[in-house]
């Protein structure tokens, strides 16, 4: 849980820093650039790749749906060995909207992965722990 809090705090700080653009003094008629032109000239902010888990909650508080992670969590390698589908339910943040749409589409890979994980958990795939 601490990893999630740290990740969220860091991502919020990066977002806030990115939104603070240097402000230039307003000039009179000599400034020919519009606000839209200034926006497109700004350099993109380098962001770190983050992942969101979009699978079912894993018992024991190991993993929660919607949890953000800075990188793929290495401490869950035993879980990935027992339930390989879980690793595939970590999605790059920029791909989350499309993946969430696919979760509701029977026959999609996202739907299959989610349902397979639920079925494995119901069958007791983690009853011996992770």
Per-residue tens of pLDDT for the chain, all 130 residues: 444 444 444 554 454 444 444 544 444 455 555 555 555 565 555 557 899 999 999 998 889 999 999 999 999 999 999 999 999 999 999 999 999 999 999 999 999 999 999 999 999 988 877 6
- CA-CA distances (angstroms) from residue 121 to 57, 83, 115? 10, 9, 10
Q: What are phi and psi of 58, to 5 degrees?
A: -100, 130
Q: How much is the pLDDT for 24?
A: 47
Distance CA 54, CA 60 (A): 17
Distance CA 80, CA 130 (A): 9
Domain limits, the chain = 2-15+46-122
Three-class DSSP category at 100: helix
Distance CA 50, CA 92 (A): 6
Q: How much is the pLDDT for 16?
A: 47
**Burial of 55 per CB tally in 10 Å (0-12, 13-18, 19+):** buried
User: Which contiguous run of DSSP H or E holds residue 92?
Assistant: strand 90-92
Q: How much is the pLDDT for 47?
A: 58
Three-class DSSP category at 63: strand
């Amino acid at each position: 849980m601490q990893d999630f809090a740290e990740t969220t705090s860091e991502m919020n700080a990066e977002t806030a820093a990115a939104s603070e653009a240097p402000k230039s003094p307003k000039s009179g008629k000599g400034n020919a650039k519009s606000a839209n032109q200034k926006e497109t000239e700004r350099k993109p902010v380098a962001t770190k790749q983050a992942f969101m888990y979009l699978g079912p909650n894993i018992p024991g508080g190991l993993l929660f749906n919607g949890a953000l992670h800075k990188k793929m969590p290495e401490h869950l390698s035993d879980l990935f060995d027992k339930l390989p589908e879980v690793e595939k339910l970590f999605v790059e943040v920029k791909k989350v909207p499309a993946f969430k749409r696919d979760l509701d589409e029977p026959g999609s890979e996202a739907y299959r992965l989610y349902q397979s994980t639920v079925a494995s958990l119901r069958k007791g795939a983690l009853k011996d722990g992770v």
